[in-house]
Chains A and B, each alone.
Chain A
Amino acid sequence: MINLPLLPILIPLLAAVILMFFPKRIKAQRFISLLAIGATIVASVVLAAEVKANGIQTVNLGSWPAPYGIPLVSDMLSVLLVLTSSILTFFVVWYAMIYMDEKYESFFFYIGVMFLLVGINGAFTTGDIFNLFVFFEVFLISSYLLIVLGGKKAQLRESIKYVLINVISSALFVTAVAYLYSVVGSLNMADISQRISELGNTGIVTVIAIFFLMVFGLKGAIVPLYFWLPGSYSAPPIPVLALFGALLTKVGVYSILRTYTLFFTQDTGYTHEILGVLALLSIVVGVIGAVAYREVKTIIIYNIVVAVGVILYGVAAMTPASLEGAVFYLLHDMVIKAALFLLVGIMIAIAGSSHLKDMGGMIRDYPRIGWTYFVAALALAGIPPLSGFIGKLLIVQGGFEAGDIVGPLLVLISSLLVLYSAMKIFMNGFWGTPKEYHGAKAKSANRLWVPAAALVLIAIFYGVGTEAIRPFITMAVEPLIDPAIYIEAVLKE
């Protein structure tokens, strides 16, 4: 089946279109969306096996040969990301079925989620820079729908900011692609990489590299371009927030990872230095935010900024170990952020408030939720048997190998503060004297726990089974270290 790389995009797309015919029939909507995401997971697993066995898979859409048409390229990195996003979406949609009320679900909610998955899977898979832009728009426009759906006052206010920021960054993206196209004359990512290396070290390529860093930094929320994130992400309901926090910023991070290992490898002393400094600043700012707030949602939201910084620091160091660590940490962070948002969402559902001062002693009535959260918090900080450990270890090792001391130390200190911020929620929310709760959704708390616990279980397996996963990650890192592998697979001549 030569169209295998396409299936994780095509299945949710077809499902979204079919769902548009009967938006008010909620049972059918739920059933078809779960079925379609399940099929997407199966397709991604088959694709991963295929990539493992036979190397990078490409499809030239419309049968046009490589530099002229649009290729879809599935290397191990993109397959793993597609698989992770599909699994996350499955559990978040499951959670949403219990969490949302029917009125909300009947206004194109599942259709929005399916289109979001199309955009994200497409962005991870495409091998064409302008097609990447189109897939960015697909998931951004779906996210505009999801952020405003419900029409609460805060949602309307924050969606205006969110749309404004993203429209500006999309315009910058188009401009950056226009610059790049006028310099190299190609949009195919493998072809661009080849032509830039023929061009050698010219100033304009460095300018374009910084331009792309600005664009993807706005999408992926690095300091100083993260300012829109805390407000915008606190507005939508919890399942939507879990999707956003786990997936959207990571597409920006993936794009930086891809462009900075494939295109801009000429003047790394300048571009990667700036990336490294911004990544470390993101860690600092994110940690300050996570420690400062006592609102459970906001604490986890600032942890997104920390994680983006840690991953990008791994990218900036550009050693094999740090790149491997970045990929490990990227996958871990997607899973654990979704799990944490879902767990925090249960706490909010029980307490009817998102502030720690209204919570306390939840462990008495909800021990399962409490201990699941405890494990998730340890995994977030990177305690050895759990999922966050190996990624951070490799990033720190890579940082030291690259001759840097400040960076790895900052990463280590940040882990401590991240642990403090997550434990703050546990100590104040689950321990202490029990309080009166007025949450309307407290009854469904134990049903909501199931999908969240499933994600934590995945995180545990990811940590315990590191040895089994490592060959896949090593394979994912190969084209990042040596772009020639990627170029050869796409342009095969």
Chain B
Amino acid sequence: MKKPNDVILQTVTTVISFIIILFSINLFFAGHYTPGGGFIGGLMTAAALVLLLLAYDVKTLNTILPFDYRMMTAAGLLIAVLTGAGALLFNQPFLTHAYDYFNLPLLGETSLHTAVLFDIGVYLVVIGVTMTIIQTIGESE
């Protein structure tokens, strides 16, 4: 059978997937004050990757984004656990967070919160788990 030519799908995907990833990053950083956060942000990023998987295939995606998603899950968990455990160093209860206001060069006065680190962990775990599931099912015969 001749392989169908899906040039329209692939062209649209290259544009759309960037927009989706930008939206997911926006969702991720908006989480503290507006709806959003690590879980939905990670799911959205994974959705963009799944769109790439639909338009291309598993091999192509592994060439452009050579991540090991199992390691990504482990790294996310490690970040989350260590963020919580960081409080132990200051003899505070586990998961006690700290925040402060900083004057950053471009952004001006910004509030930085250690909860973001925890959320980055969640974000990585969600992407890692989703992509591991989809890739494992996709690759099995």
Contacts and interface: CB of A to CB of B under 8 A. Distances in A.
Contacts of B87: 3
Contacts of A20: 70, 73-74, 77
Contacts of B70: 20, 23
Contact of A2 (B77, B91, B95, B97): B91
A13 B121 CA distance: 15
A61 B81 contact: no
A19 to B, nearest CB: 9
A3 B84 CA distance: 12
A20 B70 CA distance: 8
Contacts of A23: 70
B112 interface: no
B134 interface: no
The interface size bin for chain A is 10 to 19
A61 B73 CA distance: 24
B96 interface: yes
Contacts of B133: none
A17 B71 contact: no
Interface in B31-65: none
Interface in A443-473: none
B85 interface: yes
Contacts of A60: 93
Given A3-B88, A17-B81, A59 B74 contact: no
Contact of A59 (B78, B81, B93): B93
A21 interface: yes
A62 B97 CA distance: 7
B131 to A, nearest CB: 15
A20 B128 CA distance: 13
Interface in B80-107: 81, 85, 87-88, 91-97
A60 B87 CA distance: 12
A63 B95 CA distance: 8
Given A3-B94, A63-B93, A14 B85 contact: yes
A1 interface: yes
B93 A61 contact: yes
A10 B74 contact: no
B78 A62 contact: no
A212 B81 CA distance: 31
A61 B95 contact: yes
Contacts of B77: 17, 20
Chain B facing A: main interface SS = helix
Nearest to A23: B70
B94 A21 contact: no
A317 B81 CA distance: 42
A317 B70 CA distance: 50
Contacts of B94: 3, 6, 10, 59, 61-62
B93 A3 contact: yes
Contacts of B95: 61-62
Nearest to B82: A14
A28 interface: no
A206 to B, nearest CB: 36
Given A1-B91, A3-B88, A21-B74, A63 B96 contact: yes
Contacts of A62: 93-97
Given A10-B85, A62-B97, A17 B92 contact: no
A18 interface: yes
Contacts of A14: 81, 85
B136 to A, nearest CB: 13
Contacts of B85: 10, 14
Contact of B74 (A13, A17, A61, A63): A17
Interface in A53-68: 59-63
B81 A13 contact: yes
B81 to A, nearest CB: 6
Nearest to B115: A62
A3 B88 CA distance: 7
Contacts of A3: 87-88, 91, 93-94
A400 B54 CA distance: 70
A18 B78 CA distance: 7
B125 to A, nearest CB: 10
A5 to B, nearest CB: 10
A157 B35 CA distance: 42
Nearest to B75: A21
27 contacts: A1-B91, A2-B93, A3-B93, A3-B94, A6-B94, A10-B81, A13-B81, A14-B81, A14-B85, A17-B77, A17-B81, A18-B78, A20-B70, A20-B77, A23-B70, A59-B93, A60-B93, A61-B94, A61-B96, A62-B93, A62-B94, A62-B95, A62-B96, A62-B97, A63-B92, A63-B93, A63-B96
Interface of A: 1-3, 6, 10, 13-14, 17-18, 20-21, 23, 59-63
Nearest 8 Cβ contacts at the A-B interface: A20-B74, A62-B95, A63-B96, A17-B77, A61-B95, A17-B78, A59-B93, A6-B94
